[in-house]
Chains A and B, each alone.
Chain A
Amino acid sequence: METSILEFVRSLRGSDIQVTTGETLDALRAAAEVPLSDRELFREALRATLVKRAEQFAEFERLFGLHFSHLGEHGLPGGHTPAPSDEFRAVPQMERLLENPGGSFSALALGLMGGDAARVESLAVAAARGVSLSQIEFSLQAGSYMRRLNEHLGWERVGEELEGALEELHRRGASARELEEAREAIRQNREAFQALLRQLIRRELEKGASSLGERFVRDALAGKSFSALSDQEIREMREVVARLVKRLRSKMAVVERRRQRGRMDIRRTLRRNLQHGGVPVELVFREKRPRKAQVVALCDVSSSVWNASRFMLNLLYAIQDQFSQVRSFVFVSELGEVTHFFERYQINEAIQKALREAPIRYHSYSDYGDVLLEFHARHLGELTTRTILILIGDGRTNYLPTRAWVLQELRERVRKLIWLNPEPRSMWGTGDSAMLEYAPFCTSVEECRNLRQLSAFVDRLVV
């Protein structure tokens, strides 16, 4: 039992479910507390001790099914279903021989002669443990493990023993027909046994390696480029973003509190408490100044970066209340302010509106030069040294004038100018990308192609 639980834990770890040694010990203890005959309780005992996140339940169920429902479970009477047992045939002609074997036969040979499914299965499982079949990782190793299993079982010798048994049968005067039937039954049993071994190997492979592929997909999602996401993935991403936002908020809340906590103001405490005869009844704390940074964000929403913009807007929305003011603009070939959408609507609706209803033409070509100029003309006066200006876009100008000097003038007015580019760094400056031209005027330029980079950026921005 212990071994099976340990192997199960190994599989969980293989599927990216972190299990500590302490938890494994808990699982062993818990399993000892429930009656083994009750499958449901046993599963619950393992789950409560090993898997502590709702999103891992499905994987737990899958692996639990693989480990504890068929072969390979040792001493779990409830769910024991000897799968291929019906393939083993009893050999009637051998019965007399078995009563008095008259030679020494190995346990396996005896099992095959008697068609005793339970017995040969337990031998197979024992052999699997003997060669550490659970260590198997790739399907390419199946052949080599098959060989090891057969060696461990002494398969060749078993074959000879079975031949010997047939001869013995002949010696004892079995008819040719009886002999032929016995030979056929033995042949079938031997094949069934080899099939059983192959099945064991397959199951082990499923336990461990099958999760490799899934893990790959999951890892990939956080690292996948926004532009390559399918609709389904976008839906999944939305949840990831929601969780990210939650995490950010809690982090920001901590920062905020630390900021507000302040130190005790001794001077003012003493003065305030003069009325109590100098006994400090009321404590006065020095208040820290609230952070006054303002964020102004310009987000490209042209079709080439549409997917990325959506996630950026999501996070812009989320950080609104962390700064004294956040103004958001979207642009394609002209500039439209969407701050009021953000202030008035729920997150999803606000983003929908920002992506569809701002007073701009959504289906034209991005014109960075014109947009910068427009921003410069209308909003330059509102920029101060407390402003963090964030530009989000791929910097692809459609070969229109870049007007990088505007960016330089903007840069001189603000505290920071950050450019987030959803294109890979290697693409910057190729074709109509004016990124290299704009970059020198930015405080920092960051590649922001996927969720991981985006969240890293927001972390840095607020903390």
Chain B
Amino acid sequence: METPGAFSCVEDVVRSLAAQGYICSRQVATTVFLADRMGKPILVEGPAGVGKTELAKALADALGQQLIRLQCYEGLDENKALYEWEYAKQLLYTQLLKEKLGEFLAGADSLSEALGRLLSQEDVFFSEAFLLPRPLLRAIRSENPTVLLVDEVDKAEPEFEAFLLEVLSDFQVSVPELGTLKARHIPRVILTSNNTREIADTLRRRCLHLFIDYPDLEQEREIVRARVPDIPPRLLAQVVGFVQSLRRLDIRKPPSIGETLDWARALVVLNSEVLDPSLVEETLSLILKHQEDLQKVRGDIHRLTRQVAAI
């Protein structure tokens, strides 16, 4: 049932992910490699926009498997994560089958006999036909191996974590009316967290831990080069240098990798060759989304642009 060893070595992971346009450090690759070998979930932490979710997507693509995503949010509960009975469908069918039911119960002498007959047929309405699988159950019941992404697990409540833990340790789900549903394949699981809430230690212990930080200069250049191939080399170096120095400033929301990419794409569309202060001024809102941050950086544009102008 287990399918370990999709990768031969850490370098293989780096290559496979790079082939999907995901440039990662050896640190990231090591954890992915180990998780694959050991059949363990990965808990990915790090600032927003460093590619935590992307990692899961790239991994699924690299393995040629389906990605099943469970987006967590406040109020997410078992019903929405695992399965629901299709209440409306059950009702509809009861209505449609009313006459049939009437016939079926026709010969009954007493109420209790009728009820007895009805009870014997109960499982008609609680069969898989009326079961609406949600992401977790889909990942477990899938015919093919899958990658399960539990995104932003810190957004859900602590109770949900406990429930998740149970599912992740057994990979089976018990539906009272149907019995226990076992996993056909153990999915590869990636959980991400932005650390808005402390994740319980029990969940941490179950997982391999991976902390992804903002990439360094070299790595971010590679990422931009991979995703925005037609960017002029000098502009590429300047854009990345500029973003990196922005991240060192004390601002509310440092630009994410996604924002670097957006900016690079925009500059390519604008046919720019080099960064100059007025160009930065006009496009700054692509990388800084808070009014306060924009104001803070506006006064500094000349200095920051000069720094990267030499590149």
Contacts and interface: CB of A to CB of B under 8 A. Distances in A.
Contacts of B30: 34, 40-41, 44-45, 48
B228 interface: no
Contacts of B31: 44, 48
Interface string B106-126: 000000000000000000000
Contacts of B26: 40-41, 44
A52 B75 contact: no
Given A33-B34, A250-B157, A253-B157, A44 B27 contact: yes
B242 interface: no
A254 interface: yes
B95 A279 contact: yes
Nearest to B211: A54
Contact of B38 (A20, A26, A35, A53): A26
B284 interface: no
Contacts of B80: none
B40 A26 contact: yes
Instruction: Report the interface size class on chain B.
Output: 20 to 34
A94 B211 CA distance: 56
A18 B201 contact: yes
A29 B38 contact: yes
B137 interface: no
B198 interface: yes
A281 to B, nearest CB: 7
A434 B71 CA distance: 55
Contacts of B175: none
Contacts of A26: 38, 40, 208
Given A247-B197, A254-B158, A48 B34 contact: yes
A243 interface: yes
A345 interface: no
Interface SS majority for chain A:
helix
Given A30-B38, A44-B26, A254 B205 contact: no
A34 B34 contact: yes
Contacts of B210: 48
Interface residues of A, number: 31
A22 interface: yes
Contacts of B208: 26, 30, 48-49
Nearest to B5: A33
Contacts of B205: 20, 22-23, 52
A323 interface: no
B159 interface: yes
A35 B33 CA distance: 12
A52 B204 contact: yes
A52 B207 contact: yes
A246 interface: yes
B262 interface: no
Contacts of B201: 18
A51 interface: yes
B227 interface: no
A47 B74 CA distance: 30
Given A54-B45, A247-B197, A254-B158, A30 B34 contact: yes
Interface string B21-37: 00000110011011001
A259 to B, nearest CB: 14
A45 B34 CA distance: 7
A33 B30 CA distance: 10
Contacts of A254: 157-159
Interface in B167-183: none
B91 interface: yes
Contacts, number: 74
Nearest to A51: B209
A52 B196 CA distance: 16
B159 A250 contact: no
B197 to A, nearest CB: 5
A250 B207 contact: no
Interface in A1-52: 18, 20, 22-23, 26, 29-30, 33-35, 40-41, 44-45, 47-49, 51-52
A279 B75 contact: no
A48 B159 contact: no
Nearest to A250: B197
Contacts of A22: 205
A247 to B, nearest CB: 6
A253 B158 CA distance: 11
Interface in A227-250: 243, 246-247, 250
B94 to A, nearest CB: 8
A189 to B, nearest CB: 42
A53 B75 contact: no
B209 A281 contact: no
Among A22, A53, A57, residue most surrounded by chain B Cβ atoms (within 10 Å): A53
A250 B197 CA distance: 7
Contacts of B88: 281
A41 B10 contact: yes
Nearest to A276: B91
B235 interface: no
A181 B157 CA distance: 76
B33 A33 contact: yes
Contact of A250 (B10, B27, B37, B158): B158
A257 interface: yes
B56 interface: no
A246 B196 CA distance: 7
A247 B198 contact: yes
Interface in A259-302: 279, 281
Among B34, B88, B210, residue most surrounded by chain A Cβ atoms (within 10 Å): B34
Q: 10 closest Cβ contacts across the A-B interface?
A: A52-B209, A44-B30, A52-B204, A48-B208, A48-B31, A250-B197, A33-B37, A30-B34, A41-B30, A44-B27
Interface of B: 9-10, 26-27, 30-31, 33-34, 37-38, 40, 43, 45, 74-75, 88, 91, 95, 157-159, 196-198, 201, 204-205, 207-211
Interface of A: 18, 20, 22-23, 26, 29-30, 33-35, 40-41, 44-45, 47-49, 51-54, 57, 243, 246-247, 250, 253-254, 257, 279, 281
28 contacts: A18-B201, A22-B205, A26-B40, A30-B34, A30-B38, A33-B37, A34-B30, A35-B9, A40-B26, A41-B26, A41-B30, A45-B30, A45-B34, A47-B209, A48-B208, A49-B34, A49-B208, A52-B204, A52-B207, A52-B209, A53-B204, A54-B45, A246-B196, A246-B197, A246-B198, A254-B158, A257-B75, A281-B88
Given A49-B209, A54-B45, A279-B95, 11 more contacts: A22-B205, A30-B38, A33-B33, A34-B34, A40-B26, A48-B30, A49-B34, A52-B207, A53-B204, A246-B198, A281-B91
